[in-house]
């Protein structure tokens, strides 16, 4: 007798589907990335990311206050400095745009959400690389680590609850943990960009942060062909003291989420990156796909694959819609 079983019974009504839904997403599991630019009088729209802006200090404060009201888990702050140099000095300056934005965020919301700061030099260097360069123009791993340690302390001093080392230098999590401990910031957590790929899907982000990069980051970010290497990176980061490990981008790398999830005990995050955002926005603008459904499906898929936390430019939009 066929059909022997009828899975459609559980899909018959919205209530039935809600009852058996395996994956839910709460605003508290979402993190909103925000760009704060130095010297802006008005927020500046980012052409390649419709709906996303470079914030002024003031509008960033308002966006962060709203994020807290919406119950988001956190904000991830990126700074866009007016001046850059070869060693990224703006990253260490307590008056540098990112450190000031972190301090503003804490003043605005206190502990109501988790204030996270990107810990990387690419926004601050005139060559656009994530680290400092050696005499031959190569990214110098160990010289960069020294700067990351100081950057972590500067961000902790500004008030960051969690720092996000994203430069893919070997040993970065260990150096950041040691620097934070030595400075007495034992409570500042580390969200490690453990498996970060050299991805074309960061394209719009480069406009968002006025990136000066020529060339690519393939000597430090991972090859999209490799999965085992992602696990190796994640295990190293946990051993070095990561409190959360992250996979980035999310959609092309969903296979890594259950892999990493099953090998570590810390929370796993995934970064739904700029290109993933902009593709949906561009298609929705043309009426080719239903924006809200595509957004929900994107975030649900990332959660279903195994991410505990999702960084997404849609975080506030999704939370607002649930109201
Ligand atoms: C590096 C950094 C990048 C992103 C987050 N942190 C860009 C890069 O590695 O080139 C990309 C985020 C996105 O595309 O949404 N600080």
Percent of the chain with pLDDT over 70: 100
Mean pLDDT, the chain, integer: 97
- Give 115's pLDDT tier (boundaries 50, 70, 90): very high
Q: Ligand 1 centroid to 300 CA: how many Å? A: 22
- Give 323's pLDDT tier (boundaries 50, 70, 90): confident
> If you ran DSSP here, which 8-state letter would residue 8 be given?
G
- Angle of helix 97-109 versus helix 141-158 axis, rounded to 10: 30
Could you identify the residue written with the tokens 């966006």?
Answer: 63
pLDDT at 229: 98
Confirm or reject CATH 3.20.20.70 for domain 23-197+204-213+226-321, answering yes or no.
yes
257, 302 Cβ separation under 8 angstroms: yes
Q: Delimit the domains of the chain by residue range.
A: 23-197+204-213+226-321
pLDDT at 79 over 90: yes
pLDDT at 35: 98
| pLDDT tens per residue across span 47-61 | 999 999 999 999 999
Q: Ligand 1 centroid to 323 CA: how many Å? A: 30
Tokens of 203: 């394209």
pLDDT at 64 over 90: yes
pLDDT at 97: 98
- Cβ–ligand 1 distance for 125 under 6 Å, the answer no
- Summarize the confidence of residues 198-206 as an average pLDDT: 96
Residue nearest to atom 6 of ligand 1 (CA): 166
Whole-angstrom distance, CA of residue 303 vs CA of residue 78: 24
- Cβ–ligand 1 distance for 53 under 6 Å, the answer no
Tell me how far CA of residue 3 lies from CA of 13, 16, 17, in angstroms.
20, 20, 21
Q: Per residue, what are the HEC states of 226-249?
A: CCHHHHHHHHHHHHHCCCEEEEEC
- Cβ–ligand 1 distance for 118 under 6 Å, the answer yes
- Cβ–ligand 1 distance for 122 under 6 Å, the answer yes
Q: State the DSSP H helix or E strand holding residue 282, giving kind and residue range, or none if neither.
A: helix 274-285
**245: left (phi > 0), else alpha (psi -120 to 50), else beta?**
beta
Residue nearest to atom 7 of ligand 1 (CA): 202
- Give 306's pLDDT tier (boundaries 50, 70, 90): very high
pLDDT at 1 over 90: no
Burial of 234 (0-12, 13-18, 19+ CB in 10 A): buried
Q: Ligand 1 centroid to 79 CA: how many Å? A: 12
Q: Which residues are registered as beta bridge partners of 269? A: 246, 309
- Summarize the confidence of residues 238-264 as an average pLDDT: 98
143, 188 Cβ separation under 8 angstroms: no
- Give 322's pLDDT tier (boundaries 50, 70, 90): confident
pLDDT at 223 over 90: yes
Whole-angstrom distance, CA of residue 231 vs CA of residue 11: 36
Question: How large is the C-alpha radius of gyration of the chain?
Answer: 20
| pLDDT tens per residue across span 159-195 | 999 999 999 999 999 999 999 999 999 999 999 999 9
Half-sphere exposure of residue 172, counting CA atoms within 13 Å on the CB side? 30
Between CA 107 and CA 145, with CA 162 as vertex, the angle to 5 degrees is: 120
- Angle of helix 57-69 versus helix 315-322 axis, rounded to 10: 40
């Amino acid at each position: 007798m066929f059909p022997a079983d009828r899975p459609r019974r559980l899909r018959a009504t919205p209530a039935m589907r809600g009852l058996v839904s395996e994956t839910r997403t709460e605003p508290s599991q979402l993190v909103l990335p925000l760009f704060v630019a130095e010297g802006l009088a008005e927020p500046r729209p980012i052409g390649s990311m419709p709906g996303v802006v470079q914030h002024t200090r003031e509008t960033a404060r308002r966006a962060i206050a709203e994020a807290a009201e919406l119950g988001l888990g956190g904000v991830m702050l990126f700074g866009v400095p007016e001046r850059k140099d070869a060693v990224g000095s703006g990253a260490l300056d307590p008056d540098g745009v990112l450190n000031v934005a972190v301090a503003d965020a804490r003043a605005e919301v206190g502990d109501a959400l988790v204030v996270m700061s990107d810990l990387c030099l690419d926004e601050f260097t005139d060559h656009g690389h994530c680290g400092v360069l050696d005499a031959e123009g190569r990214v110098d791993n160990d010289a960069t680590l020294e700067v990351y340690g100081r950057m972590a302390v500067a961000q902790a001093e500004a008030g960051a609850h969690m720092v996000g080392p994203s430069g893919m230098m070997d040993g970065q999590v260990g150096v950041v943990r040691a620097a934070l401990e030595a400075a007495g910031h034992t409570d500042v957590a580390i969200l490690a960009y453990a498996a970060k790929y050299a991805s074309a899907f960061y394209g719009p982000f480069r406009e968002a942060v006025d990136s000066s990069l020529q060339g690519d980051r393939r000597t430090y970010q991972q090859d999209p062909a490799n999965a085992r290497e992602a696990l190796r990176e994640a295990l190293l980061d946990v051993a070095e003291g990561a409190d959360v490990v992250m996979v980035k981008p999310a959609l092309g790398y969903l296979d890594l989420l259950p892999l990493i999830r099953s090998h570590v005990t810390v929370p796993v995050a995934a970064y739904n990156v700029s290109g993933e955002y902009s593709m949906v926005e561009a298609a929705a603008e043309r009426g080719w796909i239903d924006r809200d459904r595509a957004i929900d499906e994107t975030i649900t898929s990332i959660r279903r694959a195994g991410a505990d936390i999702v960084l997404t430019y849609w975080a506030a939009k999704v939370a607002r819609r649930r109201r």
